[in-house]
Structure 1
Amino acid sequence: MATQKRPVSNLLGLAVLGLLIEQPMHPYEMAATLRERNKDTSFKIKTGSLYDVVESLARAGWISAHSTERSGRRPERTVYAHTELGRKEFVSWLDELVRKPVKEYPSFLAAVSYLGALGPDRAVQALEERIAWLDEDVERGRQAQDEALAKQAPRLFVIELDYAVTMAASERDWARGIVREIRDGTLVWPELMTVEGREVWAEQDEAEAPDAP
């Protein structure tokens, strides 16, 4: 049975609905709270996009204006809260995402499928640079975990940090393994994929090409 398409599919909407489970908020507070809680490891948080998502959720009837507030001379801000429908859709959406793997197409996976085109030396250089970036990601993630524990945040509330660190560390370790295989020669580059091999094949193709009339 096909899953019914939701009127809001941007995952940032899931983050908004999750925040409003706690209490009504205005969009600026939502963005600040998500960043403070390191949710930018899970969601692409841009204030403009968040306002668009809030409007979409309101049109869908999943959230509604709760009140307005003003701070100093700033314009009034609309505070939003869940509707009954919104709570139901949030739980349904979350349940589906946890249960059913979704086919994704990471850019790194696409690049790895053509790793041979870089040649062994350049592939090692590229992978080692990626490993350095992943080292930083892992370190930042672990620091964020430590900070959350220091604030006595329930682990369940920051469990995505654990997942993000685990995935980054796993990718880094995989890349290190590939670098070792390239260096010790166990990951063999087909002759055609090396510079020398391409030159040889090009010469053969040129020699076998029919003479021009």
Structure 2
Amino acid sequence: MATKRKVNNLLALAVLSVIIEGPMHRYEIASKLRERGKDRDMAIKWGSLYTVVQNMEKAGFLEAVGSERDGARPERVIYRITDAGRAEMSDWTRELIASPEAEFPHFTAGLSVIGALPPDEVIELLGTRIAALEQIIAASDAELAALRAGALPRLFVIEAEYGVAMLEAEAAWARSWRDELVAGTFPDLEFWRRMHAEGIDPGAIVDMVERGTAPE
């Protein structure tokens, strides 16, 4: 079971991951997060940064150690990580790595109601998705190759490797299912076609399935 955290926004973990390098103000934190592409690794809402940093200070994970002013700009508070913040970062990372948690990708949501579309249209849509995934994978592979060429340790791109692996797995599954549909070997294909050809009411289909009387 996931730990109930004092600040449970993943942006807080991202903040800890950069501020552990040394004291900095919020603008520096945001700059480093963008520079390192953290918004590709987790859902970051930049407008929440001010509130998240405030909450982290209240929780004892950060502490203000001074401020600075650059010309006419507002004064910027400088924060540093506390021992409690270091402990929180380590504990949270352990949980994220060791404990699987249910996630709800948009693709899964679409698949859960895929019967609303006729199979021939789904074949076309899967082809579009596969082509898009292939482009994303190619771009990600090129980016990884560039990072490796710059002698960046693998440790610091491991999340990108995982991301590519997940994309490749999704593309492989989508190709496999599309091939089944095209070849006509998907076991429910004819019933699926009839649903749309005959305009069978969805309520009637659910009733048939529940009674175990769905047509072959």
Q: Same fold (TM over 0.5)?
A: yes
- 1:127 maps to 126
8 Å CA contact 1:38, 1:144 repeated in 2: no
1:108 and 2:107 correspond: yes
- 2:35 maps to 36
- 2:193 maps to 194
Gapped regions of structure 1 (runs ≥ 5): 206-213
Summarize the Cα distance change of 1:133–1:68 in structure 2 as closer, same or farther, 3 Å threshold.
farther
The separation in 2 between residues aligned to 1:53 and 1:150, in whole angstroms, is: 35
1:80 counterpart SS class? strand
The separation in 1 between residues aligned to 2:189 and 2:183, in whole angstroms, is: 15
1:194 counterpart SS class? helix
CA deviation map 1:152-208 (0-9, x unaligned)? 222111211111111111111211111111111111444443266552646xx9xxx
1:141-156 map, 5 Å: 141-156=140-155
Gapped regions of structure 2 (runs ≥ 5): 205-216
8 Å CA contact 1:16, 1:30 repeated in 2: yes
1:105 counterpart SS class? coil
- Measured after TM superposition, the shift of residue 85 of structure 1 is 0.8
- Report the number of matched residues: 202
1:1-213 map, 5 Å: 4-194=3-193, 199=198, 201=200
The separation in 1 between residues aligned to 2:103 and 2:195, in whole angstroms, is: 36
1:96 counterpart SS class? helix
8 Å CA contact 1:42, 1:160 repeated in 2: yes
The separation in 1 between residues aligned to 2:138 and 2:57, in whole angstroms, is: 38
The separation in 2 between residues aligned to 1:191 and 1:83, in whole angstroms, is: 62
The separation in 1 between residues aligned to 2:149 and 2:44, in whole angstroms, is: 25
- 1:208 maps to none
RMSD (Å), alpha carbons: 2.2
- Measured after TM superposition, the shift of residue 136 of structure 1 is 2.8
The separation in 1 between residues aligned to 2:107 and 2:18, in whole angstroms, is: 31
Percent of pairs with identical residues = 43
- Measured after TM superposition, the shift of residue 108 of structure 1 is 1.3
Q: Which aligned runs of 4 or more in structure 1 are off by greater than 3 angstroms?
A: 188-192, 195-198
Code of the residue aligned with 2:53 in structure 1: it is V
CA deviation map 1:13-53 (0-9, x unaligned)? 11111111212222222222222222222122332122221
Code of the residue aligned with 1:161 in structure 2: it is A
2:24 counterpart SS class? coil
8 Å CA contact 1:31, 1:45 repeated in 2: no
Code of the residue aligned with 2:64 in structure 1: it is A
The separation in 2 between residues aligned to 1:143 and 1:77, in whole angstroms, is: 38
TM-score normalised over the length of structure 1: 0.84
Code of the residue aligned with 1:112 in structure 2: it is L
The separation in 2 between residues aligned to 1:34 and 1:147, in whole angstroms, is: 19
Code of the residue aligned with 1:110 in structure 2: it is A
